[in-house]
Structure 1
Amino acid sequence: MKGLLSIIYVLELIHYAVSIDYDGWLNIKIEHNLNCKDAVYCSRGNIALKSIRSGLANIEQTPFAKQHIEHLKEIAETDGFYTVKTLVTSADNQGTELISSVKARSFLENGLSDVINAWMLPNGAITAVNFQATNSSKPLQASKDGYLVNSKFYLRHVELAPVPDTTSYIQKLEREREAREKGEVKDNRSFLAKYWVYIVPIAIFVMISGAASNAETAGQAAR
C-alpha cells in the first residue's frame, strides 16, 4: 500500500510540473500535395512565433500558381482531399510531423481561405495542427505572383482534465479496513436494513397462509 501511495504522489508531482506556464519560440513549416512533381509534398509556407505565450504569429505563404489551381480542381472533381503536412519545431522539439486534410472543393470554393489551429499542451508540446476551410465564399484573389492564400492562425491550449484525489481515497479505504479488523466499525443501519433477508420470506409465508385460509373459509361458506 505504501508503494502505491508513493507512485501516486510522484504522478501528481509530474502533473504539477507540466502544468507550469511555458514560453519559447515555435515554428511550423507548411507543405502540401499540389503540383509537387516527383515529390509527395512541397513547400506552401511557414508560420513563426517568437513567443508561445503571446500567440502572435508571422505567416508567410507562397501564392498558388495556375498549375496549383488546376491540380486542386482535378482533386475537387473526384471529391478528394487537399492534404497539408506540417513540421513543428521549437526550442525543446527537433521536429514533429502532423497531417491534416480538407475537401479540395471547399478550399477552392472559398478562395483558398482557411483557418489553421495548433493545439498545445501545458508543457508547450504541439499535439495537432489542423486546417479548416472557411465559409467565406470568396473568389480567388489573383496577384502578379499568383493566387493568394488567406490563412488565419490560432494557438489553442489543451486543458488537462482534473486529477482525482486518489491518495485521500486510498487512505480512507485503508483506515476503514484497519477499523474492520479491529472491530471498530459500527453498523448504523436500521433493523429492516439489517434483517430484511429473514423478514421478507416470513412475510411472504404469512401472506400465502392467510390467502389459503381465506380461500378455505370462503369455500366452506359457499357450501
Structure 2
Amino acid sequence: MFLKLYLPLMFIASISASSLEYDGWLHINLYHAIDMDLPNKFTPRGNVTISSLNSGSFTIVQEPLSNNERIKIKKLAENDKVYRLKAVVSGQDGEEATFLTYSRACALAASQLTDSLWVSLNHLGHVLGVSQSISGTGNCRDQSFNHQVDALEEFNTDVFVKHTELAPIPDTASFIQKMEREREARERGDVKDNRGFLAKYWMYLLPVVVLVLLSGASNPEGGGGGAR
C-alpha cells in the first residue's frame, strides 16, 4: 500500500467556504467495480482520512494495482463502459453512509487514473454526498489504453471538501409585527384611507356592471320576428 499525506496548504485549490463551528474528521473506504462480467462486484481501492473538515487536510492510502486489475480497467475503457466507485463514509458521530459515483472509464484511463473526490458537507458537518470528477472527457474511439495504464501502480487522487453555506433566513417575525401594527391602527381609525371612490369600491361595483351587460345581451332591442 502507498500512503500519502496532504497538508492544509494543499487544499488552497478547493472552493472557498465557511468553516464549521466545531471541527471534525471523516474516514472513507473506497471500492470500485472494474469487472465487466461482474458489474456489481466492488473490490477495495483504498481509503481516505480527512483529519480536519475545516482545513481539508487528509491522508490517502491506495491499493497497488495488479496486472489483472489494469487489464480490467483497460477493457472497461476500450468498450466505453462506466467506472463505478463506492464510498463508505464514517465519522466521529459513529454513523456510516454509502455513496455511489461514476465516470467514463475511457476518460479515467486517458487521464492516467488521475481523479478528484469531492466530499460535500452541510452546515453541521454531515456528509451530503461524495462524487468523482476527472479532467477531460477521454477519446474512446479506436484507441488502445496500454501506454496510459500499463505502467501505473495506483490511482492518483486528490480530495476536496465542499461546505454548503446557509441561505439568508427571511425576517418573518418583523414582517408579521408590522402587519399587526397596521391592522391595529386601521381598527383604531389612526390610518385614513385616501383612495378615490372607484379604488375603494370597485370590487362591489364590478358585479353590478357585469349583470347589466349580461342583461342587455340576453334582451336585445328590436329583435327580428319569426318567419312567415
Common topology (TM > 0.5): yes
Distance, in Å, in 2 between the alignment partners of 1:86 and 1:172 is: 50
The one of 193, 213, 220 aligned to 1:187: 193
Residue 185 (structure 1) shift: 2.5
Checking the alignment, whether the CA contact within 8 Å between 2:74 and 2:149 is kept in structure 1 is: no
Instruction: Name the CA shift for 1:188/1:76 in 2 (closer, same or farther; >3 Å).
Output: farther
Q: How many residues align?
A: 178
Instruction: Give 2:170's aligned residue.
Output: 164
The one of 140, 147, 155 aligned to 2:153: 147
Instruction: Give 2:14's aligned residue.
Output: none
CA RMSD of superposed structures (Å): 3.1
Instruction: Give 1:104's aligned residue.
Output: 105
TM-score, structure 1 length as denominator?
A: 0.68
Distance, in Å, in 1 between the alignment partners of 2:32 and 2:190 is: 70
Instruction: Give 1:66's aligned residue.
Output: 67
Consecutive unaligned residues in structure 2, runs of 5 or more: 1-18, 139-144, 203-228
Distance, in Å, in 2 between the alignment partners of 1:113 and 1:100 is: 15
The letter of the residue matching 1:150 is N
Instruction: Give 2:25's aligned residue.
Output: 25
Distance, in Å, in 1 between the alignment partners of 2:153 and 2:30 is: 17
Instruction: Name the CA shift for 1:136/1:106 in 2 (closer, same or farther; >3 Å).
Output: closer
TM-score, structure 2 length as denominator?
A: 0.66
Instruction: Name the CA shift for 1:35/1:193 in 2 (closer, same or farther; >3 Å).
Output: same
Write 1 or 2 for the structure with the bigger share of helix: 1
Residue 130 (structure 1) shift: 0.6
The letter of the residue matching 2:58 is A
Checking the alignment, whether the CA contact within 8 Å between 1:34 and 1:71 is kept in structure 2 is: yes
1:32-71 matched pairs, under 5 angstroms: 32-35=32-35, 40-71=41-72
Instruction: Name the CA shift for 1:74/1:142 in 2 (closer, same or farther; >3 Å).
Output: closer
Distance, in Å, in 1 between the alignment partners of 2:97 and 2:36 is: 21
Checking the alignment, whether the CA contact within 8 Å between 1:118 and 1:129 is kept in structure 2 is: yes
Instruction: Name the CA shift for 1:182/1:118 in 2 (closer, same or farther; >3 Å).
Output: same
Instruction: Name the CA shift for 1:181/1:111 in 2 (closer, same or farther; >3 Å).
Output: same
Checking the alignment, whether the CA contact within 8 Å between 2:36 and 2:76 is kept in structure 1 is: no
Distance, in Å, in 2 between the alignment partners of 1:68 and 1:176 is: 73
Distance, in Å, in 2 between the alignment partners of 1:183 and 1:78 is: 80
Any runs of at least 4 consecutive aligned residues in structure 1 with deviations exceeding 6 A, and if so which? 36-39
The letter of the residue matching 2:153 is Y
Instruction: Name the CA shift for 1:40/1:174 in 2 (closer, same or farther; >3 Å).
Output: farther
Residue 93 (structure 1) shift: 4.0
